[in-house]
């Protein structure tokens, strides 16, 4: 595990969240995480989806055969058992650490319902390990169930990937209401880092209309990233190869978009640290 960073508060925990599936959460989590690692940041990726899409995308094709995953970690916390150091954490060749997920998360979700402090199990785990990282990125499942609530409870930031389709944009209101409730009842420090438009095809009139609606309706109250992730079959290919866009298509438009997004996220965090009067650690 990496050497400790100065303080607990220096770690930025970001949940990649949208209750609608197929909007690019996993692709964004992987490529933003590796993008941050390319800037010298220590990054942990957590796959909190029973479908294990991020685990598979990073090259672990049979996640259900893994014996040490986030499922076991959360079970240990629920049972009030100590989690061994580095338990389940895999180092990926592109410079990030991964706490994988698998189908057992479906059982964890059920068990959380009757658990004490059910909303804060993941937060309890991260309290003990996040000093070792600059960034923790959590890939949430496409629902607003207990696992997603755990991610929102553990996070201090949220990125909301939104595909410029009517139903995806429509679901934003429900998600924003959930975030507001979590902020009021569980995690007052939770901030929305921004809405990220993904799978954008600027050639289509309807796409441009939805993009304009999202920007016009939300940009006054919520940050909407300037970066837009274009639609491309390359993103699908990377999942099959277990690589990031940077390794698969370094000079492509998707890679360029994630380079831009990474810089935006770093800029947002740097500004937040400046406002708090504590400059972000430069590496």
Pick the closest to residue 74 from 53, 88, 58 (CA basis): 88
Residue 35 lies in a domain: yes
Q: What is the pLDDT of residue 9?
A: 56
Query: What span, in angstroms and rounded, lies between the C-alpha atoms of 231 and 222?
Result: 23
Residue 15 lies in a domain: yes
**Is residue 3, in this structure, part of any structural domain at all?**
no
Give me the domain span that covers residue 159: 8-275
pLDDT tens digits, one per residue of 102-151: 999 999 999 998 888 899 999 999 998 999 999 999 999 998 899 999 99
The answer to whether residue 251 is domain-embedded is: yes
pLDDT of residue 280: 54
Residue spans of alpha helices (H) in the chain: 25-38, 53-57, 70-78, 105-112, 121-129, 146-154, 166-170, 172-185, 205-218, 234-241, 245-248, 253-275
- Distances in Å between the Cα of 255 and the Cα atoms of 86, 94, 195, 266 are 30, 14, 19, 17
Query: What pLDDT is attached to residue 206?
Result: 84
- Considering its fold, how many domains does the chain have in total? 1
Helix or strand or coil: residue 159? strand
For residues 267 and 280, is the Cβ–Cβ distance under 8 A? no
Q: Give the pairing type, strands 97-99 and 90-91.
A: antiparallel
Decide if 100 is inside a domain. yes
Annotate 231-254 with DSSP letters as a single string: --THHHHHHHHT--HHHH-TTSHH
pLDDT of residue 180: 92
pLDDT of residue 215: 92
Angstrom distances, CA of residue 77 to CA of 48, 81, 141: 15, 6, 20
Q: Output the domain CATH number for residue 22.
A: 3.40.50.300
> pTM of the prediction?
0.91
Side-chain-side CA neighbours of residue 176 (13 Å): 15
pLDDT, tens digit (0-9, with 9 covering 90-100), for 13-69? 999 999 888 888 999 999 999 999 999 999 999 999 999 999 999 999 999 999 999
Extract the tokens encoding 31.
């490529």
Does residue 2 lie in a domain region? no
Residue 133 lies inside a defined structural domain of this protein: yes
Spatial CB neighbours of 82, under 8 Å, sequence gap ≥ 6: 76
Residue 49 in any domain: the answer is yes
């Amino acid at each position: 595990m990496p050497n400790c960073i100065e303080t607990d508060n220096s770690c930025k925990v970001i949940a990649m969240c949208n209750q609608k599936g197929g909007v690019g959460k996993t692709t964004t989590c992987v490529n933003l995480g590796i993008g941050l690692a390319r800037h010298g940041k220590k990054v942990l990726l957590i796959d909190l989806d029973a479908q294990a899409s991020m685990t598979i995308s990073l090259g672990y094709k049979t996640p259900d055969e893994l014996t040490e995953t986030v499922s076991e970690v959360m079970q240990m916390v629920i049972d009030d058992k100590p989690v061994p150091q580095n338990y389940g954490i895999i180092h990926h060749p592109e410079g990030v650490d991964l706490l994988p997920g698998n189908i057992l998360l479906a059982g964890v979700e059920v068990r959380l319902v009757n658990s004490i402090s059910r909303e804060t199990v993941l937060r309890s785990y991260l309290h003990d390990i996040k000093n070792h990282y600059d960034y923790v990125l959590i890939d949430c499942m496409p629902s607003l169930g207990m696992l997603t609530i755990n991610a929102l409870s553990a996070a201090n930031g949220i990125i909301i990937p939104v595909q410029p389709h009517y139903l995806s944009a429509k679901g934003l209101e429900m998600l924003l209401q959930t975030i507001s409730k979590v902020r009021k009842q569980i995690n007052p420090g939770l901030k929305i880092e921004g809405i990220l438009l993904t799978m954008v095809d600027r050639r289509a009139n309807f796409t441009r209309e939805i993009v304009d609606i999202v920007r016009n309706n939300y940009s006054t109250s919520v940050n909407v990233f300037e970066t837009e992730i274009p639609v491309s079959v390359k993103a699908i290919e990377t999942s099959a190869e277990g690589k990031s866009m940077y390794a698969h298509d370094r000079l492509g438009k998707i890679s360029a978009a994630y380079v831009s997004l990474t810089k935006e996220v770093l800029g947002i965090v740097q500004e937040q640290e400046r406002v708090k009067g504590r400059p972000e650690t430069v590496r």
